[in-house]
Amino acid sequence: MRLRYLLYGIAGLFLLAASGFGYLYFRRPSIAPPLKIHVEATAERVARGRYLFMLSDCDGCHSERDFTRFGGPVVPGGRGKGGVLAIAGLPGRVVAPNITPDRETGLGTWSDGEKIRAIREGIGKDGRPLFPMMPYQGFRYMSDDDVQSLVAFLNTLAPVKNALPRTEIQFPVSMFMKGAPEPAGSVPAPDNKNPQVYGEYLSTIGGCVECHTPKGSKGAPDLSMKFAGGMLFETPSGSVVSANITPHEDTGIGKWDYARFAERFRAYRPYVENGPPSAGPERFTLMPWLNLSQLTDEDLEALFTYLRSLPPVEHKVETHPKTRT
């Protein structure tokens, strides 16, 4: 009798596990219909969109860049053309799509609503979930005005014909990533009169936490080390470890004042104006210094205010350990 109940119990657990697996495997991501909207491309909106494109480092994945020079400037004609991401440790082939208005290989046939949905909700035109290396979980908080401005700028990019393969994510990541997309609804503009609140907004859509928070044992961000650096990026062009940007006095930016923080960014403005110099592996970086050097003083101050409000985390980081002699 006990054996029978034991077998019933095992069978029940198996059915429960099979049902759970079936749900995860066959479920569809959470999808809302795209907005029926046409974004008006005013000069002011396009300028704001260009600024957001820079702040959010869209070039980082979607543009062809020259990493023989500091900061990897975009090559002429390479903006938005997309490409296969050559970063070690990805669970399959991850492709940053062509986001230029080319009708055959880019976004030329996408509606503005479909572009907004992809940016903030992680759903492609065909309804497939986007791999969350595209930081739509942060872009979800991008205000309605800002996401429309970003789309207005995308619509002004020069069309580039560049056919690319599809992203192919390995199992079981392909199954679990279906839970990442989520409808954003309507998002109001943040309070830009409150530096800490606005700094958090800029940090969120700028993707600071994605790069400056190391992964835990199961591959998810280790929230106890939020902004404490230590994320390793290995590419064919070089390797780099993200820095600790919490206000810890010895291992982070705790001893920095605003003047030092701002100068760290502004120092690269001449590289934008005159072109960056050649750089070997010891200066390889994925930090978008060339873009972020162009942030306004108000935005830099808001970012600094927000970062200084974070809990300090002791974590010593060596950003280029493989190049140390």
- pLDDT on residue 9: 52
| Three-state DSSP class for residue 233 | strand
What integer pLDDT is reported at residue 221 of this predicted model? Answer: 84
Handedness of CA 38, 40, 46, 48 (dihedral sign): negative
H-only helix segments in the chain = 2-26, 43-55, 59-62, 112-121, 136-139, 144-154, 173-176, 195-206, 208-212, 258-266, 269-274, 289-292, 297-308
Q: How many other CB atoms sit within 10 Å of the CB of residue 142?
A: 25
On whether the CB atoms of residues 286 and 210 are closer than 8 A, the answer is no
CA–CA gap between residue 157 and residue 161 (Å, rounded): 12
Mean pLDDT per 10-residue interval, the chain, length 325 residues: 51 46 55 95 97 97 96 96 92 96 98 98 96 95 98 98 96 90 95 97 96 83 93 91 97 97 97 94 93 97 98 95 61
Name the one residue in this structure whose structure tokens are 């930090």. Answer: 287
Q: Beta strand 95-96 with 238-241: parallel, antiparallel or unpaired?
A: unpaired
The answer to whether residues 63 and 74 touch, using CB atoms and an 8 Å cutoff, is yes
Can you give the pLDDT at residue 2? 56
What pLDDT, on a 0 to 100 scale, did the predictor assign at position 136? 96
Structure tokens at 58: 């869209």
pTM: 0.90
Q: DSSP string covering 294-306, please?
A: T--HHHHHHHHHH
